[in-house]
Amino acid sequence: MNHTPTLVETEVLSLERPFRFESGDILPRIDIAYETYGRLNEQGDNAVLVEHALSGDAHAAFYHEGDRKPGWWDCMIGPGKAFDTDRYFVICSNVIGGCRGTSGPASIDPATGRPYGLTFPPLSVRDMVEVQRILLRHLGVDRLKCIAGGSMGGMQALQFFCDYPFQFESFICIASSMKHSAQQIAFNEVGRRAIMADPRWNNGNYYDGVPPEGGLSVARMIGHITYLSEKMMQEKFGRLKKDKESRAIFRPSFEVEHYLDYQGVSFVKRFDANSYLYITNAIDNFDLKTSLSSRDRFRGEGRQRGAHLDDMRGKRGLVISFSSDWLYPPSQSKEIVQLFSAFNVRVSYTEIATEHGHDAFLTDYARPSEIIQGFLSSLA
């Protein structure tokens, strides 16, 4: 039976007023790209904010007109799914610093009429949170039933929940961490170096010509290796060769080489190299414990002087990890559980057995869906 796909459009909120970053830098105006699914009820208490990962965007579910594939978390968002749009009003926005509709390095600086490039302000996970608070006010959402995200999305969920616990009933953090390890930083740094070593990067000033496709492609390849487990890669590719008859030296011949090449090429068609630099730098510098211990926070629009940790008491949390995830291993998820338990947040934890590695939060949806549905239902 053929089903008519549910269509959705990405909307853009344009704010003609300054936004101040945690660094103290100011943008004179910002755009925020977002999508919503379902409807806000009369009580205004059924909103769920979904956070995307590094390479994601506001298009989390359903289809855009003419698309062959749905949004990146369509398996989890929709009628009867984990985030049931018959029950919940689901919101997803592209992060500040991104390149999919929200202001970022590729956006035009009104003072010069040219893309910001590296003059775009330094970025933090808290900046991402503050921009989303602006969006929530625009949508008339004062309180959320839940904030949820995987990978970098989990970091945003934790930061938002800690900064404004009074605004949330619960959080869901999937395959994430409170801070990056040396190894996690190292992988991101190699990706950044690949971009900056590309002559076309031109110190971030490439918007009038060909972008640093080679460097960004390599950065994506490096990242993608960390998303899959060794067993998954072995079962999927092994030592199979695609061009068995080719005698060309140093050309991709193994199936896994062609797969990585495809991932790199497809990524450069939709992502900005400078955004990759800014966002990976932001998550490398993310440190939730340090953030919580800093009582004298930067205060700008909507910010408060420190979070009242007592506001977390009695709130609910769900942390999910995957057994074969070596990028964000279960040990880091357990640290999240320990931290929030110390703040008297009632945290549930599940480690799901899978061979899909870190990508399991996007692909292994059956068991997480069951767990999330049960968790959200228990909030009632």
**Catalytic entry in 52, 224, 356, 358:** 358
Q: Do residues 48 and 83 make contact, with C-beta atoms less than 8 angstroms apart?
A: yes
Residue 353 neighbours by CB under 8 Å, 6+ apart: 323
**Catalytic entry in 93, 103, 107, 151:** 151
Q: How far is CA 81 from CA 25, 86, 160, in A?
A: 41, 9, 24
Q: Do residues 330 and 321 make contact, with C-beta atoms less than 8 angstroms apart?
A: yes
Residue among 40, 302, 298 at smallest CA distance from 164:
302
The number of beta carbons lying within 10 Å of the beta carbon of residue 341 is: 13
**Catalytic entry in 325, 356, 359, 364:** 325
Residue among 166, 156, 153 at smallest CA distance from 130:
156
Residues facing residue 284 across a β-bridge: none
Q: How far is CA 88 from CA 36, 49, 194, in A?
A: 10, 10, 42
Q: Would strands 89-93 and 47-51 be described as parallel, antiparallel, or unpaired?
A: parallel
Nearest 10 degrees: Cα torsion 18, 279, 12, 14: 10
Specify the 3-state DSSP secondary structure of 133.
helix
Q: What is the DSSP letter of 136?
A: H
Number of H helices, E strands in the chain: 11, 14
Residues facing residue 352 across a β-bridge: 322
**Torsions phi, psi of 91, nearest 5?**
-125, 140
Q: Is 325 a catalytic residue?
A: yes
Q: Is 359 a catalytic residue?
A: no
| Residue 264 to residue 262: CA distance in whole angstroms | 5
Residue among 116, 159, 138, 104 at smallest CA distance from 34:
138
Output the CA torsion sign for 79, 81, 83, 87: positive
| Residue 305 to residue 179: CA distance in whole angstroms | 22
Report, as residue numbers or ranges, the catalytic residues: 151, 325, 358
